[in-house]
Amino acid sequence: MTAPRRATDTHCPYCALQCAMTLTQPDAAAVPGQAGRPALPVTVSGREFPTNRGGLCTKGWTSTELLADTGRLTTPLVRGADGELHPAEWDTTLDLIAAQIRRIADDEGHDAIGVFGGGGLTNEKAYQLGKFARIALRTSRIDYNGRFCMSSAAAAANRAFGLDRGLPFPLTDLDTAETVLLLGSNVGDTMPPFVSHLQGARARGGLIVVDPRRSSTARLCADGAGVHIQPVPGTDLMLLLALIHVVLSEELYDADYVRQRTTGLDELRRSVSSWWPERAETVTGVSARNIRELARTLAGSGSTYILTGRGVEQHVDGTDTATAAINLALLLGLPGTPGCGYGTLTGQGNGQGGREHGQKADQLPGYQSIADPAARASVAAVWGVDPDDLPGPGVPAVELLQSAGLPGGVRALLVHGSNVFVSAPNVQTVREALGRLDLLVVSDFFLSETARAADIVLPVLQWAEEEGTMTNLEGRVLRRRRAVDAPPGARSELWIMAELARRLDAPGVWSLEPAEVFDELARASAGGRADYSGLSHALLDIGADSGVAIEAHWPFPVGSLGTPRLFADRFAHADGRARMVAVRPRTQQTASADRLTLITGRLLEQYQSGAQTRRIPELTEKRPALVAQLHPSTARRHGIADGDGIRLSNSRGTVRARAELTHDIRSDTVFLPFHYPDAESANLLTSDRVDPHSAMPEFKRALVQVSAV
């Protein structure tokens, strides 16, 4: 390995915006730590890049604190007879894991071993993990936290367009938009530098935010910059059906585009025939007049974008809701038209690349199907195995986790890059399920809540300590670079997989070099929907990273210069046309006087399960403990005052929080962030019901009773 450079261009460790940053080693030995905190090995500055334009959010600015964190894991930990985790040697720990895997596979079959990956892993690690599961563990049981994140949006895009790239256009295209419809996305908190791309629409009064809360993004609509629509949670599908109804009945649609580029108009027309705005008003709480006006605004604008976020996707009807948003976009002729578009905002750092290269239960690298004989043959050839030896499709995340330790479920689980003890739905059942395992191995750099419950913990490298690539929310492949030395004792996940593969007598090549693994990924992806075959670390280092030389948006087959914009001439289905898939709502239970709808989501300062950001004092001081947003009138009804301790409960669990009274939320709704652990996990209350198409759980809607403590 070469020594890290003094100034290293890389990208943020957190979300899918992947803001460009430079990490600089100070001239002196280190930057002095603040107030008793350890010295930082590098300083961070924002770097000019089309997506973030030099900006970072507070998480990015404080990210280097992670590199000096005193809680960093530096040695494997193995649970002893006393029930505690104890430091152990790498060799003996890996021997132990391999022996247990062999025993369990011999007794119960290979499918008794499971793997749970993450959308924060680099492409190289995500790819290697999928390969490791299929040819070293020989199990079908691999899935990942992206199932909790992008699966509904992905399912909708795949069925409509035949391809799933979150934004099929560069983010900077939004700059000149006249109208941007944001459905269930709070970029003001979840991707602050993104907001600069909304300025153009705001200047024209064209930002439309649909969110049951007046989120920081909804506030951007104030002062004539746009409109905030505040529907009943979980009713976005009906709102969209009514918008489609208006677009069809008032003949506001782009008839030429629909005729030439889509199929499904007749069935779509039938499916929305009963969703006139007055009916939708009774369900969504959005007035029929506003619905009509919104439909006319969208159709009348020369440059319109429709974007979805988790707020509309993380529901049992999330795929159908995203599908309805796509149908509306297709009727208006947006996808593939210059200055217009539809997209979904990918969340995790490598949420896009992580869903392309084989961590998904049904998937091989390059977004190929594991059920497709041709894909099996070509990938097996790259891996040096017989295609018949590749397992078939596995099971999606919730089922994989919940069936742990039960007949037919996994008995061992290797977790790489997820903290399911906080982030899984109906989390108590997942905590119990993982407690039934014979073997839980967690690879992490901090002792996350899931790691704390593991039999074995493996300390791995974090972002600025290793090389790799990430694919951002625009499908643009970026280089993550090493800026500091890893602590002695921590190991790369490529090394861990290679060592285990050797101990398991696995076939195949197990390189330790990310650039070599990328080359193999590129070959394995050739011909797939997410084709990376023309890319390499060397090519990305020439200048794609700065956005100057090459637009490394996939598909990037050999000889390509990248594909910043998709769908200009055709969609990815064989006939080149997009599908308008008719969707219909199912009935749902609704809130009542004594039951509120709980919606969950994010705070600016915390990232996901909080395993990383809860360690940073600057991010945690504002809200050290769980806070619930509640409308003052609701609070009054329940005898709750601002700042009071409250209890939220339902049949699944009980959570205590401090009440924050605000007119920003509907009076039938309560909001909890999901970043807090243990007894403060919002997921003690969420349901594990899943979307039938995507297996996405219903994070965004649960019924709860609220009372003062």
Ligand X SMILES: Nc1nc2c(c(=O)[nH]1)N[C@H]1C(S)=C(S)[C@@H](COP(=O)(O)OP(=O)(O)OC[C@H]3O[C@@H](n4cnc5c(=O)[nH]c(N)nc54)[C@H](O)[C@@H]3O)O[C@H]1N2
Positions touching ligand X (CB under 6 A) are 15, 118-121, 145, 148-149, 183-187, 189-191, 210-213, 215, 233-234, 236, 309-312, 314, 347-348, 416-419, 422-423, 443-446, 448, 460, 493, 599-602, 604, 606-609, 611-612, 671, 674, 682-683, 686, 699-701
Q: Which is nearer to ligand SF4, 51 or 271 (CB)?
A: 51
We find the least distance from the C-beta atom of residue 355 to ligand X, in angstroms, to be: 11
Q: Which is nearer to ligand X, 184 or 336 (CB)?
A: 184
We find the least distance from the C-beta atom of residue 21 to ligand SF4, in angstroms, to be: 7
We find the least distance from the C-beta atom of residue 169 to ligand SF4, in angstroms, to be: 19
Residues 619/606, Cβ–Cβ less than 8 Å:
yes
We find the least distance from the C-beta atom of residue 348 to Mo ion, in angstroms, to be: 5
Contact of residue 12 among ligand X, Mo ion, ligand SF4, none (CB under 5-8 Å per partner type): ligand SF4
Enumerate residues 310-349 that contact Mo ion by CB under 5 A.
347-348
Q: Which is nearer to ligand SF4, 305 or 607 (CB)?
A: 607
Q: Which is nearer to ligand SF4, 21 or 154 (CB)?
A: 21
Q: Which is nearer to ligand SF4, 18 or 186 (CB)?
A: 18
Contact of residue 599 among Mo ion, ligand SF4, ligand X, none (CB under 5-8 Å per partner type): ligand X
d(CA 33, CA 40): 6
> Contacting ligand SF4 (CB under 6 A), which of 42, 56, 78, 420?
56
Residue 220's Cβ-side half-sphere holds a number of Cα atoms within 13 Å equal to 29
Enumerate residues 58-77 that contact ligand SF4 by CB under 6 A.
59-60
User: Rounded to a whole number, what is the distance in angstroms from the first to the last CA of the chain?
Assistant: 57
We find the least distance from the C-beta atom of residue 314 to ligand X, in angstroms, to be: 6
- DSSP secondary-structure letter at 510? -
Q: Which is nearer to ligand SF4, 18 or 443 (CB)?
A: 18
Minimal CB distance to ligand SF4: which residue?
60
d(CA 346, CA 164): 11
- Provide Rg for the chain, Cα atoms: 24
Contact of residue 682 among Mo ion, ligand SF4, ligand X, none (CB under 5-8 Å per partner type): ligand X
d(CA 246, CA 665): 28
Contact of residue 19 among ligand SF4, ligand X, Mo ion, none (CB under 5-8 Å per partner type): ligand SF4
d(CA 238, CA 228): 17
Contact of residue 76 among Mo ion, ligand SF4, ligand X, none (CB under 5-8 Å per partner type): none
Classify 559 in phi/psi space as left (phi over 0), alpha (psi -120 to 50) or beta. left
We find the least distance from the C-beta atom of residue 445 to ligand X, in angstroms, to be: 6
Tokens describing residue 567: 């769908």
The pairing of strands 439-444 and 456-459 is parallel
Q: Residue 566: which of 551, 546, 580 has the closest Cα?
A: 551
d(CA 479, CA 556): 15
Whole-Å CA distances, 38 to 35, 69, 459, 616: 9, 7, 20, 12
Sole residue written with tokens 């895009």: 157
Tokens describing residue 122: 């680099």
The pairing of strands 477-480 and 468-471 is antiparallel
We find the least distance from the C-beta atom of residue 234 to ligand X, in angstroms, to be: 5
Q: Which is nearer to ligand SF4, 16 or 115 (CB)?
A: 16
Sole residue written with tokens 């190289």: 124
Residues 369/301, Cβ–Cβ less than 8 Å:
no
Interface characters, 162-191, with ligand SF4 (x: CB under 6 A): -----------------------------x
We find the least distance from the C-beta atom of residue 58 to ligand SF4, in angstroms, to be: 7
Tokens describing residue 168: 């099929």
> Contacting ligand SF4 (CB under 6 A), which of 15, 126, 150, 635?
15
Q: Residue 386, Cα to own-chain centre: how many angstroms?
A: 33
Contact of residue 307 among ligand SF4, ligand X, Mo ion, none (CB under 5-8 Å per partner type): none
Backbone angles phi, psi at 458, to 5 degrees: -115, 125
Tokens describing residue 527: 């011909």
Residue 149 binding Mo ion, by CB under 5 A: yes
We find the least distance from the C-beta atom of residue 702 to ligand X, in angstroms, to be: 9
Cβ contacts of 454 within 8 Å, gap of 6 or more:
77, 79, 85, 415, 440, 441, 442
E-strand spans in 293-381? 304-308, 341-344, 363-364, 368-369
Element spanning 431, H or E: helix 427-435
We find the least distance from the C-beta atom of residue 454 to ligand X, in angstroms, to be: 11
Its sign, for the CA torsion 249, 251, 257, 259, is: positive
We find the least distance from the C-beta atom of residue 223 to ligand SF4, in angstroms, to be: 24
**Could you tell me which stretch among 53-61, 334-342, 627-635, 663-671 binds ligand SF4 (CB under 6 A)?**
53-61
Cβ contacts of 35 within 8 Å, gap of 6 or more:
none
Q: Which is nearer to ligand SF4, 21 or 379 (CB)?
A: 21
We find the least distance from the C-beta atom of residue 146 to Mo ion, in angstroms, to be: 7
Binding residues vs ligand SF4 (CB under 6 A): 12, 14-15, 17-19, 52, 56-57, 59-60, 191-193
Binding residues vs Mo ion (CB under 5 A): 149, 347-348
